[in-house]
Structure 1
Amino acid sequence: MPSRIVYKMLISIEILVLIGLIIFVSLTIGIAFRSVLFHPNFRSMITFLLAHSYIYIPCRIRLILHQERVFAVDLKDGADLMEIMLIISSILRVYHGLNVLFLYCAVVIERVLATRYMHDYELKRRFYISIILRIAVVFMSLFFALELSFVFLELTYRFYLALIAFCGSISAVTSVYLYFYNRHRLKHVLKRTDSYSLSLRYQLIENMRAFRFLQTITAVGVAGITVNCLIVAVPQFILEERTNAMELCGAAFETLYALTYLSGIILCFLSQPVWKREFRMQMRDSYLWKRLACPKFEDSAALVRRNVTDETNVYFDDLVKNWDLQLKKTKK
């Protein structure tokens, strides 16, 4: 049956994506955790997102095994345990999808506060910001996941679609506004001839790095959500009479979600040249790469050589000018 073949192909693609996801996250979560490119609050949220992959992958695999009837749930001795595992996996799968949405909003809020306290945000760590935001993300994601599973508030799907559209659109518009605002401030700071706080300059540059993250997340998220909404609408408006349409579209939805999630993480991670270089070095030093990779790659000097950008030159030139200005004031 052609539809069954397509279904098997979608499941196979999703499994391959999940394998690639667990490998990539395992190699990069340490790099993100130890990085000094971003403020600890922003860095903790990136690590928080990557760590949730270890929740998403096992739950999704458990659901795939149930769909393929690998684990039977009609056994008297194991029925209760298997059903409990299935329910937990289903709840956590919904929790992960909502967690990604609310975490995106939380990152935008963190950048709003970073812009608001721009002059001393780097000096005063304010760890409580990330702690409060992550607790709120977990609470809201888990609450709505439980409501979707047990329907104790009887919220409609229109409500959840409106919630996703509202949170996503408000966060996207806010991130775009903050990007142009911080870019304007950075240009203004670079044109100044008098001394200015180096922490202000550093915070503006960090904000621009963070907004590159948000731009990538927004682009990938909008594309993925749009196509997923079309997939959900297909069995309701076009394939109403086909009994296997919902199953096929469900598999397409999950496969596209996994692809969107993996591609978003990869593009965001590789958008930072330093992280990209560290990832290549880690891949080069891994056991599997040493067994499979070409020896020429190991001898490549391009991995060790660091290109000095124009931005770095401008930064140190301004730093020298500021020190000279301070020395002149001291002599007077």
Structure 2
Amino acid sequence: MSAAIDVIGLRKSYGEKLVLDGIDLNVAEGTIFSLLGPNGAGKTTVVQILSTLITADAGEIRVAGHDLHKNPEAVRAAIGVTGQFSAVDGLMTGRENLILMADLYHLGKTEARRRADELLEQFDLVEAGKKLAMTYSGGMKRRLDLAMTLVGSPRIIFLDEPTTGLDPRSRHSMWTMIRDLVAGGVTVLLTTQYLDEADELADRIAVLDHGRLVAQGTPEELKRLAPGGHIRLRFTSPDAFSLAAQVLPTAAPNHESLVLQVPNDGSVHSLRDLLARIDDASLEVDELTVHTPDLDDVFFAVTGQPTQSTESTQPVEHEKVTTK
């Protein structure tokens, strides 16, 4: 597949603070690529550089086939950006916000109104489009924000933590909209702190930590990097539990709950082997459950930190990239 975004050796510093340390990224067209990492890892800085809001110190960058350093205007014409903080003007109606964006794209009066109405329909905001945006719920504002990003029909969209603060229903609604965009040929680069969001949406994931890429691959590939896969065997008979502990010496026993936790990579072969050993020993197992590592396990394994860190960077005001 052709690359929508191709980055080699991306570096960025603020004074003596190294924010990005030689990042390589390759995002295929028509896919969702997610950047994960704790606060301060450099996710937003990557988005700001790729969307031409700030400049890199070093690195080769191509976005939508254009060299970002030599032709930033061509890059801006191909992309849309939805930042962490809404760009919606609360003193305007939803429709007026969209028309304003269309005017910035020089679409012309008739086309601007047609495009605004089309997006209000697409994002289920037809009735809300007549009301001031300050009256919108958080989910409605994020939908309008995304609709504003799409006014110029971008080929590539940067979504910087687009569902932060949304309730579960609004998050799932946003996920559906993102999938629909990709089904229509749009490429999405998504930053998020919600590991379930990346697992649900992303075709490929890169994990950033202290400005470096510490892991990259499909969600399933990353899960295989993390330890902790196991099979849980629960017994009701103390005698069966004791016998199983002898037959399975690598298992971690919990004598109080009569549970054995057997290390396992979750593959069919290893599971079949365990079942054969249980059958050969005539063990009476009351409950068997398989636990495979999830992205929480991956995140902890590759970053070594369950808590969030804080990074000091130069503040950049959020804005929609509209130059054509």
Same fold (TM over 0.5): no
TM-score tier after normalising by the smaller chain length: under 0.3
Using structure 2 for the length normalisation, give the TM-score: 0.23
Kindly indicate which of the two structures has a greater share of residues assigned to strand.
Answer: 2
Kindly indicate which of the two structures has a greater share of residues assigned to helix.
Answer: 1
